[in-house]
Amino acid sequence: MIMNTARAIHRHVRAFSLLLAIGSVFSAVALAVSAYPWQAPHSSAQGFSGTWKAVFQEKTIIVLRLQSEDEHPSGTIQLAGFQLDLEGDGSIMTVTDGQLDKPINLKNIKRDGSTLSFDFVDSDGDTDKFQMELSDNGSAKLQWVGLPTGLKAQPIAIARESAPSPKAN
């Protein structure tokens, strides 16, 4: 009788030890998976690649095309005519010309985490500077920076229209 009880206890201890070992392995795997950077594209220029569009009153006012080759982003921007309330709250007031300009090459493109800054010379000959900040849901905000003192512009929401196609090997 004592022998049977000792065997039963020994079996329960082995089963408990096995369950504890399996639980430890499962916990370690779960911890490792939760620490994996699922937002990896945000840490590279590849997260910015694709065609981005801003729409106001059902009209496309900005098309931003970004490519990333070997961590060196490049791209173009197309603008329609729209008016910002620069002396007020900085919001878009109206679309003055729904026709997009021809693509303008971006210059001085710099990535810092989830922010991409760039500038370009617009059709009037002015150098415009912008920052694009990615959000977690696949959209971004485009902020006009370097405005003269007293003028402000609200960020313009842009959405990825298409992602880059994978390169053929």
Amino acid at 76: T
What are 49-79's pLDDT values in tens digits?
Answer: 999 999 999 999 999 999 976 667 899 999 9
Tell me the two tokens of residue 84. 């910002």
Residues 81 and 96 sit within 8 Å (Cβ to Cβ): yes
Average pLDDT over residues 115-133: 94
14 forms bridges with which residues in the sheet?
A: none
**pLDDT averaged over every residue in the chain:** 78
Residue (of 75, 63, 78) closest to 109 by Cα position: 75
Q: If pLDDT is split at 50, 70 and 90, which confidence band does 143 have?
A: very high
pLDDT more than 90, % of the chain: 51
What is the distance between the alpha carbons of residues 91 and 93, in angstroms, rounded to a whole number?
Answer: 6
The answer for residues whose C-beta is within 8 angstroms of residue 53's C-beta and 6 or more apart is 60, 62, 63, 64, 158, 159, 161
* pLDDT confidence of residue 97: 93
pTM equals 0.68
What are 15-35's pLDDT values in tens digits?
Answer: 444 433 444 434 443 434 344
- Number of Cβ within a 10 Å radius of residue 51: 15
* pLDDT confidence of residue 74: 93
Residue (of 92, 82, 95, 77) closest to 153 by Cα position: 92
